[in-house]
Amino acid sequence: MAARHRKRVAAERTIYLQVEVEQEARELLTINMHCGLGNLAVSQPSCCHGGMAARHRKGATGSSRDLSFLNNFSLILYAFDEFNNLRSSLCNSSISQSLSSAMPPKGSMRAGILAGCPSLARGIREAGVGFEPQTYRSVTPRSNHLSHLVSLLLLLFYSPRMEVADIGLIGLAVMGQNLVLNMNDHGFTVVVFNRTVSKVDQFLANEAKGTKVIGAKSLEDFVRALKKPRIAMLLVKAGAAVDDFIAKLLPLLDENDIIVDGGNSEFTDTERRCTELAKKGILYVGSGVSGGEEGARHGPSLMPGGNPKAWPSIKPIFQSIAAKAKTGEPCCDWTGSGGAGHFVKMVHNGIEYGDMQLIAEAYHLMRELGGLSNQEMSQIFKKWNEGPLESYLIEITGHILSFEDKDGSMLIDHILDTAGQKGTGKWTAICGLERGSPITLIAEAVFSRILSSMHDARVEASEILPTVSKSGPVDKKEFVEKVRQALFASKVISYTQGFMLLHRAHVDFGWKLDLGAIALMWRGGCIIRSKFLGNIKEAFVKNPELGNLLLDPFFTNIIKDCQTTWREVVATAALNGVPVPAFSSALAFYDGMRCPRLPANLLQAQRDYFGAHQFERIENPGTFVHADWTGHGGSVASSTYQA
């Protein structure tokens, strides 16, 4: 049983071999088997335990030639485990010295093996062994140096673990797989690992077949494969899984090695990890990755931040695989220290929530009040994508509305109206509250998804709560143009609020965020990529400390041109009972921002009345006073009630 188990384990380990090399090894072993190489006792390598050959001599002669290739190959692989001295030195990266003692000299079997196995020769050269096969005379395979053949195959067996990979990636879901293939396309060697180890084999046998991608079956193998400083990228579920992998990687890493978290982690977690790992000499990076599966494969938007010492090492890889703006610039740059990268990605997702809600409301208005069909709306969105509203989300909406189900009907009409969410929009809304940044449209977009999820409650209420009669038919062309302008103005507000939150973080956390560079990062590869991000970049180039995009002339003029129809669309929706919370919130934000005197004076008076919270007088700002409200006609005494 033990022998069968050892052979089975040895056979399973053959999957480490790349297909090209395995085929060459198969041919080479077949030749040598026919030449009488079945006897393992012929030659013992100097690093081999003396008893190994004797234990296998009897079973390896005669009948061994009748074994299948796999059994012979498994037996040789099992012999690898017997070479303890060589194995130990390989694990300690003393490969050149070990091989020089184990390999035959010039003009021997070594040259013949290398001549017949070019991929093996290439692997040896890449591993740093200083010789070229063409410098040795070809000899007949009958030289019968099994020990040297085993030594060479042992090198191949361990080659995935000998510091050949530029970067490693843990997490082989679709996003991870596509990012690996993207790196491979750009000439980088990637080693991969997955908690479910079988996924490594599946990936190498399918999507990564024929690539330079290396599979690792353990974190130890994964780390040994990486060039120094090692770059280990995590693309796993945010939260405990990230901390778990960090804890397992730490004992295997050296000072100045790099861990990159490419998942949707909360920026506060990234800030904590960055600080903790810096104390242990590990450089930690939290990088936003946007663009979905397609972006990961062909060019995502990347938003790295964390320990700035890591940037020179990851920059060549990240900027190579990132999407490129139309100007050719990579949609990737360093965002800042600590949790800056994941903060930027969080705000990106918040803007994404706002954009999607605005587009959904435009669709709702055209369907409910404009009476437009899906096909008509599809053409409208496609036309809008040719102008100032050009963006990825407008583009895909045009495709979605013309997509047919199997029966020829429109698929959009069969999709339940309950929207899910993964939480990043909620994080943005909460962060806006915590930082005192009024991202009202983004928060409204989050609440709209929550309301949509209350499907049964809405259906029940629709049968009880009264509504209003909708107005008569509208001029479709005119109405569509009004909706377009309202959408454009509201979209400006969505981005204004997002960049206000970024500016607040820039001030509060001292991250020195380059808001213009962030706008450029979002020009390509990501979900919110849009034409006017170029105008946002220009606004921050002109004024890096711009705290409100609405004050830039370009955006001021957009609102000026759209304001009248924007108000009309919101009013029409309200009069006809069509909910447009994002449009309405955007307009309310704009009006609040341009209002020189808001009714907050009454709010503060109320707070002082019931809670003695004090207030500032217009003629003496900065000095807080309390009024004796009950002594001048009031009937409720002040208290310490907090509100």
What is residue 598's three-state secondary structure?
A: coil
Instruction: Provide the b/e sequence for 246-263 (b: ≥16 CB within 10 Å).
Output: beebeebbeeebbbbbbb
Q: What distance in Å separates the CA atoms of residue 245 and residue 252, rounded to the nearest whole number?
A: 11
Q: Is 322 in contact with 376 (CB distance < 8 Å)? A: no
Both tokens of 528, joined, read 């919110």
Q: What distance in Å separates the CA atoms of residue 101 and residue 115, rounded to the nearest whole number?
A: 21
What is the pLDDT at residue 422? 74
Question: Closest Cα partner for 39 from 156, 113, 147?
Answer: 147
Q: What distance in Å separates the CA atoms of residue 558 and residue 496, rounded to the nearest whole number?
A: 13
The residues that are catalytic are 345, 352
- How far does CA 462 lie from the centroid of its chain? 41
CB half-sphere exposure, 625, CA atoms < 13 A:
10
Region of 561 (left: φ > 0; alpha: ψ -120 to 50; beta: rest) is: alpha
Both tokens of 276, joined, read 């903790």
Q: Is 307 in contact with 314 (CB distance < 8 Å)? A: no
What is the pLDDT at residue 358? 98
Both tokens of 476, joined, read 């479709």
Neighbour count for residue 520 (Cβ, 10 Å)? 24
Q: How far is CA 505 from CA 35, 432, 521, in A?
A: 73, 10, 18
What is the pLDDT at residue 327? 86
CB half-sphere exposure, 348, CA atoms < 13 A:
32
Q: Is 152 in contact with 113 (CB distance < 8 Å)? A: yes
Domain with CATH 1.20.5.320 in the chain: 600-632
Q: What distance in Å separates the CA atoms of residue 102 and residue 104, rounded to the nearest whole number?
A: 7
Of all residues in the chain, what percent are helix, strand and coil, respectively (each to 5)? Answer: 60, 10, 35
- If you count DSSP H runs as helices and E runs as strands, how many of each does the chain have, helices first? 28, 9
Both tokens of 391, joined, read 């963006």
- Measure CA of the first residue to CA of the last residue in the chain; give whole Å: 75
Superfamily of domain 600-632: 6-Phosphogluconate Dehydrogenase, domain 3 (1.20.5.320)
Q: β-pairing, 214-215 with 190-193?
A: parallel
Task: Return the H-helix or E-strand segment holding 285.
Answer: strand 283-290
SS3 assignment for 120-171: HHHHHHHCCCCCCHHHCCCCCHHHCCHHHHHHHHHHHHHHHHCCCECEEEEC
Which residues does the chain have with pLDDT short of 70?
A: 1-162, 632-643
Contacts of residue 377, defined as CB under 8 A and 6 or more positions apart, other chains included, come to 363, 366, 367, 401
What is the pLDDT at residue 96? 38
What is the pLDDT at residue 80? 40
- Burial (CB < 10 A; 0-12, 13-18, 19+), residue 185, is middle
CATH architecture of the domain formed by 167-338? 3-Layer(aba) Sandwich (3.40)
What is the pLDDT at residue 631? 76
pTM comes to: 0.74
What is the pLDDT at residue 7? 45
What is the pLDDT at residue 139? 31
Domain with CATH 1.10.1040.10 in the chain: 346-594
CATH architecture of the domain formed by 346-594? Orthogonal Bundle (1.10)
